[in-house]
Structure 1
Amino acid sequence: MTTRRPAATARTPQKTSMSAACVNNQSTARRSSPWRRRPRGSSVSAGCTLVRSLPRECPSVISKFLMEVCVPSDIGESWQRVVSWLREYAPVSHRALGDAASEEEIAAGEEKTGVRFPEDLRAYLKVNNGTVTRLDESNGLTGSCPEGEFLSGGWALLPLSSIERLHHQMMPGPREDQGCWRKEWIPFAAESYECGEMYGFFIDAGTGSVGQWSDGDVETLDLFPDLPEFFASVLEDLERILGPEEASQRIQDGCVTPH
């Protein structure tokens, strides 16, 4: 399936949130994050569960050391909270997390896109390379699978292969409006492959902020100040599943799915 590039027609951007679903292709107002980022250098708890290459019986003191050394504290803690929630409440979705990407794999992705990834994105990919994908035999492309579509609206985090593919698709051709997509925008999450990946989130390699693209619309810039705040919003959406308020998602057979 091919992602159509956003049209150049402008309209006033509005703040959106993770709750945009492919069934209605609409965005809702962003909710404030339930917790704030800790100052850099603060401790990271329960770190061993984030480093997938470590054995399950790895001593927590060693795993905590590796987490603090290998992953910046802000992105490490914010993503660890999401991983821990999935492990406890949605084990099938947790198993859909990709393995850690190597430095060589990340460097190859940067070479293909022609952009140096922001440090937050690089650090996160070195823990989990998006979510697992499945092959579309009709065109040979790989896309998200239901188990990994645990973001609100049934969206999924993209592995490097999908990041490279979508970045290439979104780049304007020589005769197209060069202002509709910037080279430094790196897509890292999108609606499900079956829905066409017409909507998604990108991180600006220049500023580190997170924006949103939508088919036929102007991109929304600076939706989140950075990737840790984005993952804080993801956690907020997941925690709402267990709360008393009506949520847009539910847990079914160990998997997070749209309600």
Structure 2
Amino acid sequence: MPHADGVRSSWTRIVRWLEEHAPASAQALNPPATDADIQRLSDHLGFRLPQSLETWLRQNNGSTAKDSTTAVPGGFRLVPHVDSRIFPGGEVFLDCQSIINQHGNDLRIADDIGDEEWWMPSWIPVLAETDAHYGLILDAGQLNGSVPVLAYRETDYPKRYASSLEELLGGVADMLEHGRGDGVLTRGRRPSVQDGRVVWD
């Protein structure tokens, strides 16, 4: 479980930094996902969660604690709070229910447009820019057991972005703690704090 251990360690470092320097951002973190949360997500996906993702969600079930919902035709839409956007591209760390909602919606879109390569069942969204079709997903369908991170955007099919969730979070932790590092998500960005929330320049 080396990747899961790395995720746990890196996320602990990130949360500690947020609590000390950006308390408004730290307050956007949900409590740990419960057994029921994990089971419901696994049931929706149709397979067991990658250990690295389950480890992360069991530390904090997303950064959506301050978010709200608004009624839209056919249901509700999540309205992210500014404090939820804790990652360098303004992405939100999705909670279990948000993962279910986005995964199901993207599979329906792929079916509607008749392009199964637009979104695969094994792709699990974990970070998302909620105002646009952009974010990062875990590819749980690799035959070799690896779980690489893919980046997707409105105009492109998902492409490989990082080797693992451990690599992704490790780069963010290094940048927050030391102001340096060459993480794929932090490249060219530096953190600052405004009104108690982390902002990436």
Q: CA deviation at 1:114?
A: 2.2
Q: Report % sequence identity.
A: 28
CA RMSD of aligned residues (A): 2.5
Does 2:185 match 1:251? Answer: no
Note the C-alpha offset of 1:238: 3.4
**Residue of structure 2 aligned with 1:136, choices 59, 62, 70:** 70
From 106, 115, 118, the equivalent of 2:38 is 106
What corresponds to 1:18 in structure 2? none
Where structure 1 has 5 or more consecutive residues not aligned to the other structure, the ranges are 1-38, 41-70
Is the contact between residue 139 and residue 150 of structure 2 (CA under 8 Å) also seen in structure 1?
yes
Q: Give the superposition deviation at 1:248.
A: 5.1
Q: 1:158 & 1:218 partners in 2: Cα distance? A: 20
Q: Higher strand proportion, which one?
A: 2
| Residue matched to 2:94 | 158
Alignment equivalent of 1:219, drawn from 149, 158, 180: 158
Match in the other structure for 1:209: 148
Q: Deviations over 1:11-46 (max 9, x none)?
A: xxxxxxxxxxxxxxxxxxxxxxxxxxxx94xxxxxx
Q: CA deviation at 1:228?
A: 1.1
Q: Determine which of 183, 187, 198 is the counterpart of 2:125.
A: 187
Contact 1:115 1:205 in 2 (8 A): no
Relative to the length of structure 2, the TM-score reads 0.82
Matched residue SS, 1:219 = strand
TM-score, normalised relative to structure 1: 0.65
| C-alpha contact (below 8 Å) 2:69/2:78 kept by paired residues | yes
The answer as to whether partners of 2:83 and 2:197 remain within 8 angstroms in 1 is yes
* Residue type of the alignment partner of 2:10: S
Distance in 1 (CA, whole Å) between partners of 2:81 and 2:192 is 17
Cα deviation, residue 242, structure 1: 9.0
Name the residue aligned to 1:65: none
The separation in 2 between residues aligned to 1:174 and 1:146, in whole angstroms, is: 32
Aligned partners of 1:148, 1:175: CA distance in 2, in Å?
Answer: 31
C-alpha separation in 1, matches of 2:31 and 2:43:
21
Aligned partner of 2:134 in structure 1 is 199
Higher relative contact order (Cα pairs below 8 Å, separated by 6+ residues)? 1
Find the aligned partners of 2:68 and 2:179 in 1 and give their Cα distance.
27
Verify the 8 A CA contact 2:174 2:180 in the aligned structure 1. Answer: no
- How far apart are 1:209 and its partner, in Å? 1.3
The match for 2:105 is 169
